[in-house]
Amino acid sequence: MARHGAELLPELPASLARAFETYLNSLRFERGLSRNSIDAYARDLARYGTWLNGQGMSHLGEVERTHVEAFALHLLDENLAPRTRARALVAVRRFHGFALGEGLAATDPASEVSPPQEGLRLPKALSLDDIEAMLATTGGEEPAQIRAAALLELLYATGARISEAVGVDLDDLDLETSLVRLYGKGGKERIVPFGSHAATALGAWVSRTRPSMAAKARSSAPAGALFLNARGTRLSRQTAWQIVKDAGELAGLEAEVSPHTFRHSFATHLLEGGADIRVVQELLGHASVTTTQIYTKVSEETLREVYATSHPRAR
C-alpha cells in the first residue's frame, strides 16, 4: 500500500521517520486529505526533519520549545515567502499536537509557538538600567520583598527558566562557592555560578526570611524548597511569574516583563560582554548551540543599532 507523502521525506533517524510517516498516513486514512494536501504537509515536514537531523536529534523526546522557535527563525533565514513560512510552522504545530495525542511524545513543544514576523523575529532583552530598576523595587525589608529580590537576582544571574528556579532546593544552593544546581528539561542537571549581588540577596533570604516562612509549613509538607510561599510550601511557577511581572510594572517599564525576559537578557548581556557562545550554551542548558545562536542575532542587532546612530557615515 502506498504511503502518501512518505516518499518526499529525507533519510532520517528511524524514530523520527516513523513519527512523520504515522502522521502522514493519518492525514490520508483518518482525515481523508487529497494527495496534493498530503504532499504539501510532507514537504513542510521534510524541511523540519532535515533541520532536526542537522541538530543531532533522533527522536521527538529531544525536541523542546526553544528548538521549534529556532526552526521558525531558520525559516526566516531561508528567505521564504511569508505564506510558506506560516504554512510550514502550522504543519509542525499540527504534527507535534498529533504526536502528543497519539502517545508518540510526552509533550507538545510547538503548542505556543507562532510564526515569526518580520521586525519581531528577535527576543527582546532588557537593558541593564531596566534590570536595576526592577531590582530596586525589591529593596524593602518586608518578607515578600526579600524573597522577590532573591528570585530576581537568581533569574538574572543564572538565566534559569522559571520552572528551574522554583525547583531549586536548599541543598542545590552553595552560598560559599556561589554555585547553584539547576534541573532542566528531562531532569538534565547543570551547575551555574552566580555573582556577589545574587549571593547577597539569596543569603538574606535564606538566613533572615525563609526560616519564618518554613515554620508555617505542616510537618508533612516538603521543607527543602529554596523559595517558599506564605504557607511554607514550595513557591509555584504562577506566583513566581507574578513576582517578576509586578516588579516590571512597579519599575515603570512599558513592555510586559516575564521570567523568560530575564533569561533572554542574561544570554544577550553575556554575549555582548564577550562570552563564548559555547559557554553561554552550557549556562542556559541548551542541547544545541543553534538555539543559543538566537541570542547572537540579538547582539548583532544591538551592534547595528549602535552603529547606525553613532557612525558619522551611517546616517
Indicate if 67 belongs to the active site.
no
Catalytic residue among 4, 85, 234, 286: 286
N-terminal to C-terminal alpha carbon distance within the chain: 64
Q: Is residue 286 among the annotated active site residues?
A: yes
Identify the residue whose cell numbers are 548581556.
Answer: 269
- Total residues belonging to the chain: 315
Q: Which of 43, 65, 181, 185 is catalytic?
A: 185
What are the helix (H) ranges across 105-236? 128-136, 143-158, 162-166, 196-204, 210-214
Q: Does residue 264 have an active-site annotation?
A: no
Residues with Cβ within 8 Å of residue 146, at least 6 apart in sequence: 138, 140, 201, 204, 205, 208, 209
Q: Which of 23, 48, 183, 295 is catalytic?
A: 295
Three-class SS state of 169: strand
Which one from 4, 28, 47, 263 is the annotated catalytic residue? Answer: 263
Catalytic residue among 43, 59, 260, 297: 260
Nearest to 201 by CA among 243, 157, 149: 149
Say whether 161 is catalytic.
yes
Contact 217, 233 (CB under 8 A): yes
Q: Which of 161, 210, 234, 269 is catalytic?
A: 161
- Can 311 be counted among the known catalytic residues? no
Task: Identify each DSSP E strand in the chain by its residue range.
Answer: 173-174, 179-183, 189-193
Q: Is residue 263 among the annotated active site residues?
A: yes
> Which residues are known to be catalytic?
161, 185, 260, 263, 286, 295
